Structure 1
Amino acid sequence: MRSTTSSQSQPILESHDIPQEAFDWYDEYAHGIIDRREFIKRLSGLAVVGLTVSSLTSVLMPNYALAEQVSFNDPKIKATYTEFDSPLGHGKGRGYLVMPKEMSKPLPVVLVVHENRGLNPYIEDVARRLAMNGFIAFAPDALYPLGGYPGNDDDGRAMQSSLDREKVEQDFIAAARFIKSYPGSSGKLGAVGFCFGGYIVNMLAAVIPDELNAGVPFYGTPAAESLRAQVKGPLLIHFAELDKRVNDTWPQYQQVLQGNQVPYEAVIYPGVNHGFHNDSTARYNEEAAESAWGKTLIFFDTHLI
């Protein structure tokens, strides 16, 4: 498990050193249930020798320098930013487009959907990881209408919450169609998303079921009840055992999928928190993340190639 320190004078903390309450409060903070002041106030109640507010926040808050598994200038990939039309959304969108440098044939494409704070470096790295495995990956930035991801998650979260939700969803529908028909695409479309992005994948599975060939939501809530019956799948759904907020939505969604005989696999990873795949914070669990990512690549290989 990765360890982090907030300064030279403070002890190194690992995820098992942090009380579960701190992870739960961070989840509430990250999803707008409590504000930063309340989050820090609660952390202060845990502050004891070796467990200060600053040491806790240093490992709970993202450090994106830890999340780069594939360099942005790796010679085996080609990465750029490109715009797309979104007439039912914000008019124009922009995303991070990554593909293998050498392409001898059309390749399947995968839409990569960020959390509720814009296109941060972790999500860009996920796109690069997919390109390294033979896919064309496209990661839109929901914050493009406001100038794009601002460089920090707090501002990004506030910016995303200020946008019209329906227009944001339309932007991702437009992005999915844009990359599905992109030059070099085989016409097979997959989507993977995290948290809010997991919701977007579930939403896409419901609103463009005949266009999405494979969906992988990581700890995402389902689409609106009125849309769920439209899902055709296949889906590979990843859950964190300790993520009560999202997991509480699963039984009803599962009932719909089973009733409609939608092909799906749901995996619950034991003892891990919401965000366990994000390798920039202490919520990251290497064993669960590697297992989930390996399953994701096999799933895309099976349904897109």
Structure 2
Amino acid sequence: MSDRNQSEIPQEAFDWYDDYAHGGMDRRTFLKKLGTLTAVGYSMTVLTSALLPNYALAEQVSFNDPEILATYETFDSPLGHDEGQGYLVVPKNISGPLPVVLVIHENRGLNPYIKDVARRLAKAGFIAFAPDALFPLGGYPGNDDEGRAMQKNLERSKIEQDFLAAAKFIKAHPNSNGHLGAVGFCFGGYIVNYLAAVESNLLSAGVPFYGTPAAAELRENIKAPLLVQLGELDERVNKTWPNYEKDLKRLHVPYEVHVYKGANHGFHNDSTARYDKPNAELAWQRTIEFFQNKLS
């Protein structure tokens, strides 16, 4: 039987990867499950190359694009890991104050995809700052498996405090107009929801991509408008949405929610086969327009 191609990979393979990526199974079990698909014509090479990230595919804006300037900046985090670091990207020709956006990575550190998202925002006219939760351990190690293990070993409450400190740091940037947005993916989507809840006046807008909500007792503080982006096939995250929506309605929080048909968890990440280009581009267009409307 000939090898099947990436476009035909069955949904259960994506579900197994999501479970593996979020700690629901170990790598050995994940690969063993993938191995069952070889009996129906898939090769392990095709499967792993489709499901595991290839960050060469994720660069939409070059790091040396002449219209932006990228640097690494440190910030104080006394309630977190004492000091944090992030990837700062600004439009090169700044004229007057600009809105700022915190960009929050998944559960594996500041990988090349998230850096590219920050550059995309700078190209769209925002000051973007993408912290690395793994900075206390030396930073993103260059591969997601190791990064995921490193982040799992850090105290979650301290990571939350690091992102809170990062949000305050970038909001106070000399060229900031005082309006802070946050966009995050997976774990980063959770952090967007957390930042909206932990301090009512911190965010002016939040865009959680497939992120779980903050703790119920914190949600009472939410005031910032939210643009919630969900993939139709992302059962793990989507089951948390009805209860969260109920609270947002009760608290009269302005929000929009979009559930993208046929999209998996991680559909915006263009480094794996979970990437859904039409839905990702639509979601990103909505994100930019939302920030333009709420952060001006």
TM-score, structure 2 normalization: 0.98
Q: Is the 8 A contact 1:189 1:213 kept in 2?
A: yes
Q: CA deviation at 1:291?
A: 0.4
Q: Is the 8 A contact 1:80 1:96 kept in 2?
A: yes
Alignment counterpart, residue 14 of structure 1, candidates 6, 10, 26:
6
Q: Is the 8 A contact 1:84 1:178 kept in 2?
A: yes
Q: Deviations over 1:202-255 (max 9, x none)?
A: 000001221200000000000011111211120000000000000000000000
Paired AA for residue 46 in structure 2: S
Structure 1 segment 12-91 matched on structure 2, within 5 A: 13-15=5-7, 17-48=8-39, 50-91=41-82
Q: CA deviation at 1:48?
A: 3.5
Q: Identity over aligned residues, as a percent?
A: 67
Q: CA deviation at 1:53?
A: 1.6
Q: CA deviation at 1:12?
A: 7.4
Q: CA deviation at 1:61?
A: 0.2
* Alpha carbons of structure 1 residues 11 and 133: separation in structure 2 relative to 1, 3 Å: farther
Q: CA deviation at 1:54?
A: 2.0
Paired AA for residue 270 in structure 2: D
| Runs ≥4 residues deviating over 3 A | none
Matched, 1:245 2:245: no
Q: Is the 8 A contact 2:6 2:46 kept in 1?
A: no
Q: Deviations over 1:38-93 (max 9, x none)?
A: 00000011113641122101110000000000000001000000100000000000
- Cα distance in 1 for partners of 2:87, 2:169 equals 13
Gaps of 5+ in 2: none
- Cα distance in 1 for partners of 2:290, 2:3 equals 41
Q: CA deviation at 1:135?
A: 0.2
- Cα distance in 2 for partners of 1:98, 1:80 equals 7
Residue matched to 2:146: 155
Q: Is the 8 A contact 1:191 1:201 kept in 2?
A: yes
Paired AA for residue 258 in structure 2: V
- Cα distance in 2 for partners of 1:12, 1:290 equals 27
Residue matched to 1:234: 225
Matched, 1:204 2:211: no
* Alpha carbons of structure 1 residues 69 and 11: separation in structure 2 relative to 1, 3 Å: farther
Residue matched to 1:3: none
- Cα distance in 2 for partners of 1:255, 1:227 equals 14
Q: Is the 8 A contact 1:237 1:265 kept in 2?
A: yes
User: What secondary structure does 1:84 align onto?
Assistant: strand
Alignment counterpart, residue 145 of structure 1, candidates 125, 128, 136:
136
Q: Deviations over 1:97-140 (max 9, x none)?
A: 00000001110000000000000000000000000000000000
CA RMSD of aligned residues (A): 1.0
Q: Is the 8 A contact 2:189 2:208 kept in 1?
A: yes
Structure 1 segment 112-131 matched on structure 2, within 5 A: 112-131=103-122
Structure 1 segment 100-119 matched on structure 2, within 5 A: 100-119=91-110
Residue matched to 1:277: 268
- Cα distance in 2 for partners of 1:210, 1:277 equals 28
Q: Is the 8 A contact 1:13 1:59 kept in 2?
A: no
Residue matched to 1:6: none
Q: Is the 8 A contact 1:196 1:220 kept in 2?
A: yes
User: What secondary structure does 2:256 align onto?
Assistant: strand
Paired AA for residue 303 in structure 1: K
